[in-house]
Chains A and B, each alone.
Chain A
Amino acid sequence: MDYALIIATALGAIALYLLLPRGRANMVKLGGLASVLAMGVGITYLIHWTAAAHAGHTGIIENLFFYAFAALALVSAAGVVCHPKPLYAALYFVLMTLAVSGLFIMLMAEFIAVVLIIIYAGAILVTYVFVIMLASQGGQTPAAQYDTNSSDGFMAVFVSFVLLGTVLQAIFCAGPAGFMHSLPAPHAVAHGLGSLEVLGANLYSRYALPLELAGILLTISLVGAVMIARKNEPVAHVLGTGDLPAE
């Protein structure tokens, strides 16, 4: 058991719970304080952990980009959940995508990083923004349009952070030495791990079946989208909004 990790997770849970939109006077400042504390504990823990893994070398300078991108990803992820306006939430999602693709670049996975931007920022979130823009109903106040109060905020935060805590414990339980052992060796990275050639060759030969299945899955999702969205209007080409002329 790693108490620092548990404390960080618990602080994060409290912070997120306080930050969730509630419609009444919420405790945003307190939530902000708790989130800063949670991140502080987490980063301190990670620095200590790196020092233990690398014989006293804290690696703050080398990992500066990691900490920056990770913090940005966390903050914007919290923004996605907590912002009361849906369009802003979607934009926070875009910011989070950029931060995560920065993390991928640090792992030398250029392709995944760029595809993350193209797919998530360029396609999925455009769809979200479309929905948000198209589904808003005119003439109502924003508060009435969406449920700006988080329903069951406590249960959601509780379940997700228990899950997060479990995953973190599982990752970190082996200790610094054991964790380093499970990583791919540095020379594997130098020898083409993450390069497009290797990715393509593996994807299309070794993992050909999952790839084709993914293609079929995408086709099925397209069928679903068409079935849901395409309705046959009885008379589609009549302009005008007035009632039918009385005869």
Chain B
Amino acid sequence: MTTLATPQLAVQGFSSLYEIWILLGILFLAGLGFGVANVIISHILGPSRKGNVKDSVYESGVNPVGTTRDRFNVRFYLVAMIFLVFDVEVLFLIPWISSFNDSRHPWLHAAHGPLFLSVVIFTVILLVAYIYAWGKGVFKWD
């Protein structure tokens, strides 16, 4: 493992990296609390009158027919699968970005040729997958 000359994770003014994630965690919890509080408040303050018709689902005034939880076209599943593959491949590119164009570290700058080559190969593999899926008609929506 090659090490960097300067600490990369030191965040200006913070005593540790954890503090910024504690901040983000507090923000997330605040958002969660906002949601919970709103749901509870409107549950307490709002009226509640139940009825047979009111409790049924809205289907434009027609009585509901059949069940909702039915089998569905497999094409949505295929989209999710293809997305999964591409998503993983695209996220592999992210660490490459910050090491490829890094002028602060001479050894990274010197290595930019091999770094570029390996990402080109990786992108070509991605492209092959894409062309295959296109050829198989995965992206045809009709």
Query: Does A225 touch B at the CB level, under 8 Å?
Result: yes
Q: A200 CA to B95 CA in the complex, in Å?
A: 4
Query: Does A130 touch B at the CB level, under 8 Å?
Result: yes
A-B contact count (CB 8 A): 185
Q: Are B2 and A198 in contact (CB under 8 A)?
A: yes
Q: Are A197 and B88 in contact (CB under 8 A)?
A: no
Residue of A nearest to B7 (CB): A190
Contacts of B7 in A (CB 8 A): 190-192
**Please, what's the 1-or-0 string for B97-117, where 1 marks a CB less than 8 Å from any CB in chain A?**
111101001001001001100
Chief secondary structure at chain B's binding surface: helix
Residue of A nearest to B100 (CB): A200
Q: A139 CA to B68 CA in the complex, in Å?
A: 9
A window 55-94: CB within 8 A of B: 65
Q: Are B118 and A197 in contact (CB under 8 A)?
A: no
Stretch at the interface among B35-43, B44-52, B54-62, B125-133: B125-133
A window 145-193: CB within 8 A of B: 188-193
The 8 Å CB contact of B132, one of A136, A139, A201, A219, is A219
Q: Are B69 and A136 in contact (CB under 8 A)?
A: yes
How many residues of B are counted as interface, with CB atoms below 8 angstroms from the partner's CB atoms?
A: 62
Q: A131 CA to B121 CA in the complex, in Å?
A: 33
Contacts of B69 in A (CB 8 A): 133, 136, 138
Q: A222 CA to B72 CA in the complex, in Å?
A: 21
Q: Are A130 and B95 in contact (CB under 8 A)?
A: no
Query: Does A123 touch B at the CB level, under 8 Å?
Result: yes
Q: Are A219 and B125 in contact (CB under 8 A)?
A: yes
Contacts of A118 in B (CB 8 A): 87, 91
Chief secondary structure at chain A's binding surface: helix
Query: Does B80 touch A at the CB level, under 8 Å?
Result: yes
Q: Are A215 and B125 in contact (CB under 8 A)?
A: yes
Counting chain B CB atoms within 10 Å of each CB, which of A189, A195, A200 scores highest?
A200
Query: Does B29 touch A at the CB level, under 8 Å?
Result: no
Say yes or no: A138-B9 contact (C-beta < 8 A), given A111-B94, A222-B133. Answer: no
Q: A118 CA to B84 CA in the complex, in Å?
A: 10
Between A and B, 20 residue pairs with Cβ closer than 8 Å are A119-B84, A119-B88, A122-B87, A123-B80, A130-B80, A134-B74, A136-B69, A139-B67, A188-B3, A191-B3, A191-B5, A192-B4, A194-B9, A195-B9, A202-B1, A204-B100, A204-B119, A222-B129, A226-B136, A229-B78
Contact surface of B with A, Cβ cutoff 8 Å: 1-5, 7-10, 17-18, 21, 66-74, 76-78, 80-85, 87-89, 91-92, 94-100, 102, 105, 108, 111, 114-115, 118-119, 121-122, 125-126, 128-129, 132-133, 136-138, 142
